[in-house]
Structure formats: structure tokens, C-alpha cells
């Protein structure tokens, strides 16, 4: 980790909806809060407001049950200039160890701005070539990568600029992590082709690949309460699939390799979470 003094920026972004961005962002935010980190969260989609609504629901559950849950400061960006966004980020960054951004599932100038400024950029993808097309195009016969997408080119250029800034201004390098969500619905032959295409593209543009969250009803059921899989003791009886989902989440957070305050190691493996 560099000597850059600002909070670590984690941006959840791609240009397609339905990939689990908001669910993953909330769970990562709460996981960090459980480890004692001070977390701020900014929702860049003022129409959907999924991240913001999730934390609103969490606050209401705290009030209704008279409990205190690890959480994040949260806000929605509703401005119309990059300067207004930077101003809100600066305000939300005060006393924060991490600032988490949830972006809309479409091309958006504010999402692009925070993505290129990310310390950790997380791009959730469902395991299909429909989603893969967001970062690269493959040959219809061989499934070899033919070209990068516009989005991958954008991040590639941003990472090159950041590499130079890292040397000149001691900024953090950008860590780009492609997270594979909902893998159990992928047919074996298709999964192998995706594996090969993702591996090939990762070598070209330098992202890491991490396992994500499976498609489980529990995530949709938790939204109204704002609870997460980490809120052990508040969820009632959990089935086997829920316990497996919690393990998936632990593995995902560990794979992000986020810098903990004071240089502490993440404590996921020590049972502090859930």
C-alpha cells in the first residue's frame, strides 16, 4: 500500500444491470464495518437508489429492533457536474477508511469518473458471453478474444495513467477485479470457454478474477430488512445454502485483498464476521 493518505476507494461498476453490483457492494461495505473499518457509501444511480435503499432499510431495522448493526455512512449523488461529485466525495471521505461507490448499469460520465479514480475496481459479471461482451469480444467459432470493449480500453488507459502517477505522486495503483457471480447456472462447456476467454483477457489488460456470489433467493429476501448474510444472530435459522453463501462472501472479501486500517490483516478467517 502506498503513502496516499485518502480513504481507499472501492468502485463497483460495469455498464449492465442485473449483475449483482449493489448486493455485492452492500455486503463488502458491511464486512469491512464488522472489521472495525469506517465506511462511507455513495450511490451514483439516483433513479434506482438500490444501495441507498438497502442502507435505509438497515437503519430502519436498527430502529425497529433497537439494535446496533455495523454499517456505513451513505448518500446518493444527485448533482450534475464532476465538480459537484468530487465535492461530495471529499465530504463523505472525512474520517473514512473506505469509500464505496455503486454505479448505474449503463454508460454514465460519473460512473466513468469514479471508475478511473478507483483504488479497487470491482466489475461483477454473470457467467455468460452476454456479460463478457462488456469487457471483450470473442470469435464466434474459436471463442478467442478478438478485441477489448470500449469499457476495458477505458480502464486500461486509466490504469496506465495511474501507474505513472503512482511513481510521481505516490498514489495507489489500481487493482481491477472481475468478479464472477451466479456461476452455478452456467453449463460446463460454456463455463470452460468463459474460463479461457477471461484468463486470456486478464493477461492482456491486467485484471484479477475472483469468485463471486451465487444466485440465491436469500439476497432478495434480505433487502427489505437491510440485513446481510453477515448479521448472524439477526437472521433466524439458516439453511445449508445460506451457510454456503456466507462462505462464498467470506472468500470474495478475502480475495479483494483490501488494506485494513493500521495495516491490520483482514479478520475474516478468524471468525469475527458472522
Is residue 43 helix, strand or coil?
strand
Most confident of 86-90, 205-209, 227-231: 86-90
- Confidence (pLDDT) at 184: 54
Mean pLDDT over the full length of the chain: 85
Q: How far apart are CA 74 and CA 56, in angstroms?
A: 9
What kind and span of H or E run contains 188? helix 188-205
Evaluate if residue 84 carries a pLDDT over 50.
yes
The more confident residue out of 127 and 114 is 114
Q: Which residue in 101, 109, 96 sits closest to 51, CA to CA?
A: 101
Tens of pLDDT along 53-80?
Answer: 999 999 999 999 999 999 999 999 999 9
- CATH 3.40.50.300 for domain 8-259: yes
The more confident residue out of 177 and 198 is 177
Q: Which residue in 156, 142, 166 sits closest to 202, CA to CA?
A: 156
Mean pLDDT of the 202-212 span: 86
Is the C-alpha dihedral spanning 85, 86, 89, 91 positive or negative?
negative
Could you state, in order of their start, the residue ranges of all structural domains in the chain? 8-259
Mean pLDDT of the 183-199 span: 73
On the 0-12 / 13-18 / 19+ scale of CB atoms within 10 A, 167 is exposed
Alpha carbon distances (Å) from 18 to 12, 66, 74, 105 = 13, 33, 22, 8
The more confident residue out of 167 and 128 is 128
The more confident residue out of 129 and 168 is 129
Cβ count near 171 (within 10 Å): 19
Mean pLDDT of the 82-89 span: 97
> pTM of the predicted model, to two decimals?
0.86
Evaluate if residue 190 carries a pLDDT over 80.
no
Most confident of 9-18, 92-101, 220-229, 253-262: 92-101
Amino acid at each position: 500500500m502506498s503513502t496516499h493518505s485518502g480513504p481507499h476507494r472501492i468502485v463497483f461498476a460495469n455498464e449492465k444491470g442485473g449483475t449483482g453490483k449493489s448486493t455485492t457492494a452492500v455486503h463488502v461495505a458491511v464486512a469491512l464495518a464488522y472489521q472495525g473499518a469506517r465506511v462511507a457509501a455513495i450511490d451514483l444511480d439516483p433513479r434506482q437508489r438500490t444501495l441507498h435503499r438497502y442502507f435505509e432499510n438497515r437503519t430502519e431495522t436498527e430502529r425497529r429492533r433497537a439494535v446496533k448493526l455495523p454499517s456505513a455512512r451513505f448518500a446518493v449523488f444527485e448533482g450534475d457536474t464532476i465538480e459537484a461529485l468530487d465535492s461530495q466525495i471529499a465530504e463523505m471521505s472525512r474520517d473514512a477508511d473506505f469509500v464505496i461507490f455503486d454505479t448505474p448499469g449503463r454508460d454514465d460520465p460519473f460512473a466513468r469518473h469514479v471508475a478511473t479514480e478507483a483504488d479497487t475496481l470491482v466489475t461483477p459479471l454473470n457467467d455468460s458471453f452476454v456479460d463478457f461482451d462488456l469487457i471483450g469480444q470473442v470469435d464466434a467459432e474459436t471463442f478467442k478474444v478478438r478485441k477489448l470493449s470500449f469499457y476495458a480500453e477505458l480502464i486500461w488507459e486509466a490504469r496506465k495513467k495511474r501507474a505513472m502517477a503512482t511513481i510521481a505522486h505516490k498514489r495507489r495503483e489500481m487493482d481491477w477485479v472481475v468478479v464472477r457471480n451466479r456461476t452455478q447456472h452456467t453449463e460446463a462447456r460454456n463455463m470452460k470457454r468463459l474460463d479461457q476467454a477471461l484468463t486470456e483477457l486478464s493477461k492482456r489488460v491486467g485484471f484479477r478474477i475472483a469468485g463471486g456470489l451465487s444466485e440465491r433467493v436469500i439476497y432478495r429476501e434480505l433487502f427489505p430488512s437491510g440485513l446481510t448474510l453477515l448479521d448472524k444472530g439477526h437472521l433466524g435459522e439458516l439453511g445449508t445454502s445460506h451457510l454456503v453463501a456466507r462462505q462464498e462472501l467470506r472468500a470474495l472479501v478475502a480475495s479483494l485483498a483490501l488494506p485494513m486500517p493500521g495495516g491490520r490483516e483482514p479478520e475474516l478467517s478468524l471468525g469475527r464476521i458472522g
